[in-house]
Chains A and B, each alone.
Chain A
């Protein structure tokens, strides 16, 4: 861990800045760079900009919130994935390993099934994710086993499958003309509807969860060691595990509630960050957050500009993520050990 973190962090920041610039300047609605700067400057200085209202609402109400939401969701998923991969000492773990996504999915489709409003659907998804992980944790801890981590992961897989069946049941019972398409769209993930009012409920939990994880960065390094070694170093593994799982789940559930199910980000980005700055969580967490934000920004820009019709994020992240992950597996095994 003698390698300097600076070059890696610089690359990640460059990706994020490039992503932000790209995302702000391109879109379905043509906005010139001059107009964009005028609107942003006027917003900062509090003056009224001399550009058409349509351009103003594109920048401030549509594209702006969406860009910020994409960066936040990408950062949240990457941070959660990094935390879980470290906690479970397994490079194949992603943020939904303990059922956060399946629980959120069941909450959201239930909200759609009862024809609730957008806010209620998001709240259902958020709470669904939290409840699912809490249930997994309680069940997993109640089972006495030699390897508590393994039991926890297996419980997560099993409960996730059960929740998936629940999602299937609700879809099966849903009205095929109205509710079913809405559920399908939600499950594929999209930021198309992101607006200003989404930002605070997203930012709060993500910022809090990330702050907790960053505060625990040294202890997370110890948690990556085998259980006995960690205990022998005087780290209270039990309570610490609860704190890490809770913080990562909070960020995951908040992002899933806003954007729907987006896989791959939480799996791929931590590896990429690890190859940039190594396994030390003090560097890894911020790098993963920055890189995740930039990564999802690029993907979301593709999703909203490639065609008149939105391309679901879940599909794009999989199409981009799969070959990338295979390449990572083939070339970067050494960075894990």
Chain B
């Protein structure tokens, strides 16, 4: 990287003259914005939950705090010292909960945001960067961009070796799961209804971030309309008659089997209603971050049980050890796989 090296030399000189604004390199983020990154990134402020999880998996020591404080049950699966770091609020998205003055007071070297790279969020990033004088990196939060996002974050934080390992695991996971079912035609793939909410009547429309992994492996019954989350009626679900229901709601998963209104749905009749694991972070949907990688294996197994003989327990142990930096006990793995919180 000759350009970066030159930038390093030039800004290194500037650093001698102006130590407060020491600038070591210019790195472009996922939206093509050029960011002046300090020579040593030691403190990173996560703009929202996806960014916090991504950063925790790569470099927990850099994480200044969490958008929301973690619960003790969640911390059982993470490094205790890092998990217990304070709540610092979130910056972008649906309204700030973090005060920009307190963000500046935390003296971050970098603000990291992971999510949509649409114009709205680019301009928000630009604005916060101008106001605070802190480089604001916006990375792509889409599921199939996870590997690229890790590599970019490695570049931003100088942890290229670690990020390459995580990026490669992400690549391998997507290749292994989608590759094994590549021969199955789209029309032969199971039709999945994704149920949210205590009555299971909120679902993700086609292309929504909530169903990215489901649509990667199977057909989303609500995929005919593009959009985000929407409410549907049970009649519509009966009409779709999905083969499989994937839900993140414990109450719905528990009640749907005995609910006469749902009894005629094929997935309910066949006993193919699956409750997604959610500890410490959800496996299918939220927060939409790297936690969905292990969920891809889980989905592949429930959708194509014959094609994926892997032991989910071993996969879980490996993923949690590698990404969450703590090896879960057998009892913890059972707890996670049961979908309990």
Contacts and interface: CB of A to CB of B under 8 A. Distances in A.
B224 A182 contact: no
Nearest to A60: B260
Interface stretch (B90-98, B102-110, B181-189): B90-98
A182 B202 contact: yes
A62 B238 contact: yes
Q: How large is the interface on B (under 10, 10 to 19, 20 to 34, 35 or more residues)?
A: 35 or more
A177 B68 CA distance: 12
Interface string A10-33: 000000000000000001111000
A180 B210 CA distance: 14
Contacts of B248: 178
B230 A118 contact: no
A192 B264 contact: no
A171 B263 CA distance: 34
B239 A29 contact: yes
A73 to B, nearest CB: 16
Interface in A81-100: none
Interface in A57-73: 57-58, 60-63, 66
A57 B260 contact: yes
Interface in B208-266: 222, 224-225, 227, 229-236, 238-239, 241, 248, 251, 259-264
A57 B231 contact: no
A53 B263 contact: yes
Given A28-B233, A62-B261, A304-B233, A172 B288 contact: no
A195 interface: yes
B69 to A, nearest CB: 12
Contact of A181 (B68, B229, B234, B260): B229
Contact of B94 (A54, A62, A180, A195): A180
B233 A121 contact: no
Contacts of B197: 182, 185
A129 interface: no
Interface in B55-101: 68, 90, 93-95, 97
A147 interface: no
B49 interface: yes
B109 to A, nearest CB: 26
A259 to B, nearest CB: 13
A83 B285 CA distance: 46
A166 B241 CA distance: 40
A310 B231 contact: yes
A57 B238 CA distance: 9
A53 B260 CA distance: 10
Q: B95, B251, B261: which has the most chain A beta carbons within 10 Å?
A: B261
A117 B251 contact: yes
Nearest to B221: A308
Interface residues of A, number: 38
Given A29-B235, A57-B260, A181-B229, A121 B198 contact: yes
Contact of B198 (A56, A58, A117): A117
A61 to B, nearest CB: 4
Contacts of B196: 178, 181-182
A307 B230 CA distance: 11
Given A53-B263, A176-B93, A185-B231, A309 B225 contact: yes
A57 B196 CA distance: 21
Nearest to B205: A309
Q: A30, A57, A172, A310: which has the most chain B beta carbons within 10 Å?
A: A57
A195 B287 contact: no
A177 B93 CA distance: 11
A190 B95 CA distance: 26
Contact of A118 (B198, B235, B260): B198
Contact of A190 (B94, B231, B261): B231
Contacts of A29: 235-236, 238-239
B340 interface: no
Contact of B49 (A56, A61, A177, A309): A177
B199 interface: yes
Contact of A28 (B90, B225, B229, B235): B235
B251 A304 contact: no
B68 A175 contact: yes
Interface in B166-199: 196-199
A185 B251 contact: no
A181 B236 CA distance: 20
A195 B230 CA distance: 19
B264 A57 contact: yes
9 contacts: A54-B238, A62-B235, A117-B198, A118-B198, A175-B286, A182-B202, A195-B259, A195-B261, A304-B235
Given A172-B95, A177-B285, A192-B234, 17 more contacts: A29-B236, A29-B238, A56-B264, A58-B264, A62-B233, A62-B261, A172-B97, A175-B68, A175-B286, A182-B197, A182-B202, A195-B261, A196-B260, A307-B225, A309-B205, A309-B230, A312-B231
Interface of A: 27-30, 52-54, 56-58, 60-63, 66, 117-118, 121, 172, 175-178, 180-182, 185, 190, 192-193, 195-196, 304, 307-310, 312
